[in-house]
Amino acid sequence: MTDLTHQVEEVAHLIADAKRVLVFTGAGVSTESGIPDFRGTDGIWQKYDPEDFTIQKFLSDKQVRKVQWQLLSTGDLSMSKIQPNPTHFAITELENMGKLYGVVTQNVDGLHQKAGVSREKVFQLHGDLSHAVCLGCGHRYPMDMVAEWLNQGMEDPACYLCMGMLKPDAVLFGEQLPIKVLMESERRSRKCDVCVVLGSTLSVYPACLIPQYAAQAGASLVIINMGPTELDHLAHIRIEGKAGDITTKIIRRVKARLEDEHD
């Protein structure tokens, strides 16, 4: 048995025996769907100035809003044609098995929901670029709908219900993380049996505290990532590799274990 096979078997054993599996996903999961890493060498912030993505500029400068809506509707930040990858579907399988306690994600692509994970089990710490939100009444609009309005000539989209200003439903620089999402993520991290980290270096605060809380509360911490992370020293099992490849193998073994238990 190879080291990887042994590690996969260990993780499958942990998940099969667990009642509450919390999954934490980072940019490495999104990049497997073709989404560029914001902070990488070829990332978004190498092409655009982060200073143009502050909440202050968005609210005060119509030209900044116009550029952002173009990027979100048809440009580099458009999520409409991006599809879930094997990692997303593996997490959906966890929910189908009754094991998934929640998905806490740093990603803003909405792909966990697109892959079939229940919306109420997805906690997007940095928001969701697949939707826009009204700053007046809070109504959310699919970004595809906003893109249609832009294609029809609307430069500064407004809410159809209250005519309030729309903004991407993601956390812009200068905005606080959604407090309810953060609090519920922390609560679940302290109650899970197993926390599986996928595709994150765990270097962005406060998001990286979620797996740390889980480990401190006694959960088994599994880290699957390309390259080292800030919490490798706390990991019960640490696997080097692409999330999609590894999670597919793990889910296959979890299913086999559960089927053996039912026979």
Mean pLDDT of the chain: 90
Query: Active-site residue numbers?
Result: 126
In the three-class reduction of DSSP (H, G, I as helix; E, B as strand; rest coil), residue 90 is classed as: helix
pLDDT the model gives residue 73: 74
Mean of pLDDT values over 103-109 = 95
Domain segments of the chain as ranges: 1-35+83-126+176-263, 39-78+128-170
C-beta neighbour count of 252 within 10 angstroms: 14
Q: Is the peptide bond before 206 cis (omega within 30 degrees of 0)?
A: yes
Higher pLDDT, 68 or 100: 100
CATH architecture of 39-78+128-170: 2-Layer Sandwich (3.30)
pLDDT by residue (tens digit) across 192-234?
A: 999 999 999 999 888 999 999 999 999 999 999 999 999 999 9
Q: What's the rounded mean pLDDT across residues 236-241?
A: 96
Residue with tokens 């086999």: 256
- Give dist(CA 109, CA 94) in Å, integer: 20
- Quick: pLDDT tens for 25-59: 999 999 898 887 666 666 666 667 777 788 999 99
* Residue 183 neighbours by CB under 8 Å, 6+ apart: none
Listed in sequence order, the residues at least 6 apart from 128 whose beta carbon sits closer than 8 Å to its beta carbon are 108, 109, 110, 169, 170
Helix (H) or strand (E) holding 175, with range, is: none
pLDDT beyond 70 at 1: no
Stretch among 35-39, 51-55, 151-155, 237-241 having the lowest mean pLDDT: 35-39
Superfamily of domain covering 1-35+83-126+176-263: TPP-binding domain (3.40.50.1220)
Q: Is the pLDDT of residue 175 over 80?
A: yes
pLDDT, greater one: 11 or 69: 11
